[in-house]
Amino acid sequence: MRKNIIALIAVQLWKSTFKSSAIYMLMVLMGVIITFAAYSGWKMYTVQNGIREYYQHEARESWESNPDKHPHRMAHYGSFAFRRKHPLSMFDFGMESFTGNAVYLEAHKQNTVNFSEASFSTGLLRFGEISMAMVLQVVIPLVIFFLGFSSIAADRESGTLKVMLTQGATWKELLAGKSVGLLSLTMLFFLPCAIVTTGLLVGNGHTTGDVLMRFSGLLLTYLCYYFIVGVITVIISAVSKSSKDALIRLLAIWLFFVILLPKTTQAIGSYMYPSPSKVAFESALEEDIIRQGDSHNPDDPHYKAIKDSLLSVYQVDSVQKLPFNYSGFIMREGERLSAVTYERHLNELLRVYGHQNKLNRITAFINPFTAVRNVSMAFSGTDFSSYVNFQHEAEAYRYQLAQTMNELQMKYISNDVKNSADKRAILDRKHWQEFPDFKYVFQSTRISIKNEALSIVALLLWLGIAALLIQLLSKKLKAI
């Protein structure tokens, strides 16, 4: 292919596009939409993060202000874990509005993550939010279809196509030139989003290597997406007898890929791999924990057996003679067993969600929109995997908190103490002040890429298919 011919065809597409005043109105309208999306994303990020950081600080102050008391009471007093929003969540909201962002942490009980935006909003939230990612994924492909539906079909109708081919241009050059021209037109809308997002990241001080790597991945992902969409547009225009036919076909493709297929896949996934309700999950978990025994009941068979074993190992005839606090040991064992049980139930639930998500990722091989949506959420730290990562971090912190309090009881409280009101059972508050606060750590970029490897492969495959279609169709297309 001759590069100068491809460039000439691309420039011709630009000139014909800007002959219409509609492109200027479209640019103004898209500018307004992008500005609103950028502002709402920045506002949601700053306000939500401010609220979460404030209440995390309040929870810490409340924890540290507790007076001297029995450590097991502190374990039951508990604390809170709040999930900070990722800096790139201002670009792609992902699942953030539908997943919880705070969890109460206490001994012997694993609470669910609550307080999602959806729980405080009307049902209109389910129709979607205007984020920059939504504009790039949904609106701009529609714009590409409207800019390119007549790119070749109109030339066929006017007879220009036959003239171009007889003057030496090949079909391959024609398809490539129109695709390049359409991709360059797309930059009129894509570059403002990229520039605004860069400004928001720099303005908020989010210029770490991880954030920049994720943002670079986002830019490359969307560039690949627009090349694919542009090639599809040009090919549909080339195989259509008229501009009207091309437009109808492209609108049908947009509705199928962006609206119908994602919703259908979600419904099929929920039907094939049904997940238990919150009540059913918690009931099953509670039944398993009760079946294991009650660490607060001295006559429970399971814990009575542990007591007999300890007395035998240490060769003493009563728990008062053990070299550590027996009640603290039992509380520690009870916490370990309940945590193992919770982990098993949670992993089973996540396995069901994993099957649903895998079905979604598989459809990325027939729907580039699904591929780019999955990759975009992963790079923005707003996908389901990031939410699960928060769950695991919060549970690890809760378990460490409870076990630290149990170990304080084992170390500092004598077995002669009969109740928590005894002065000998009261520990200095410095022990809770020394326990570190919860700090949420974002999932690494490497793990995010690994989780969405299937979607990334699907997107690369679509790139290859787009290039292959240009190669194959250039041998079969006709001017009339």
* C-beta atoms surrounding 326 within 10 Å: 21
Tens-level pLDDT at each residue, the chain (480 residues): 678 888 888 888 888 888 888 899 999 999 999 999 999 999 999 999 999 999 999 999 999 999 999 998 899 999 999 999 999 999 999 888 888 889 999 988 888 887 666 555 544 445 557 899 999 999 999 999 999 998 888 888 888 888 887 887 788 889 899 999 999 999 999 999 999 999 999 988 898 989 999 999 999 999 999 999 999 999 999 998 889 999 999 999 999 999 999 989 988 988 898 888 888 888 888 888 888 777 767 677 878 888 888 888 888 888 888 888 988 898 898 899 889 999 998 889 889 988 888 888 899 999 999 999 999 999 999 999 999 999 999 999 999 999 999 999 998 988 888 776 778 889 999 999 999 999 999 999 999 999 999 999 999 999 999 999 888 888 887 766
**Predicted model pTM:** 0.90
Note the pLDDT of residue 116. Answer: 63
Sheet of 109-110: strand order equals 79-82, 102-106, 109-110
The enclosing H or E element of 247 equals helix 243-254
Note the pLDDT of residue 115. Answer: 65
Q: How far apart are CA 376 and CA 356, in angstroms?
A: 18
The amino acid occupying position 416 is D
Q: Write the pLDDT tens digit of every residue in 107-151.
A: 888 888 876 665 555 444 455 578 999 999 999 999 999 999 988
Q: How far apart are CA 114 and CA 104, in angstroms?
A: 9
The enclosing H or E element of 409 equals helix 384-412
Q: How far apart are CA 174 and CA 152, in angstroms?
A: 9
Note the pLDDT of residue 124. Answer: 44
The answer to whether the beta carbons of residues 479 and 161 sit under 8 Å apart is yes
Q: Write the pLDDT tens digit of every residue in 349-385.
A: 889 988 888 888 899 999 999 999 999 999 999 999 9
Residue 102 backbone phi and psi in degrees, to 5: -150, 145
Residue 461 backbone phi and psi in degrees, to 5: -65, -40
Q: How far apart are CA 213 and CA 25, in angstroms?
A: 35
Environment class of residue 294 by beta-carbon count within 10 Å: exposed (0-12), middle (13-18) or buried (19+)?
middle
In angstroms, how far is CA 13 from the centroid of its own chain?
38
Taking alpha carbons only, the member of 256, 255, 257, 235 closest to residue 246 is 235
Residue 383 backbone phi and psi in degrees, to 5: -90, 175
Note the pLDDT of residue 480. Answer: 66
Length of the chain: 480
Residues 6+ apart with CB under 8 A from 375: 217, 221, 452, 455, 456, 459
Q: Which DSSP string do the residues of 252-285 spell out, in sequence order?
A: HHHIIIIIIHHHHHHHHHHHHS----HHHHHHHH
Q: Token pair of 115, please?
A: 């307080």
Environment class of residue 167 by beta-carbon count within 10 Å: exposed (0-12), middle (13-18) or buried (19+)?
exposed
Note the pLDDT of residue 422. Answer: 78
Pairing of strands 79-82, 109-110: unpaired
Q: How far apart are CA 397 and CA 89, in angstroms?
A: 24
Q: Write the pLDDT tens digit of every residue in 375-428.
A: 999 999 999 999 999 999 999 999 999 999 999 999 898 888 877 677 888 999
Cα Rg, the chain, nearest whole Å? 30
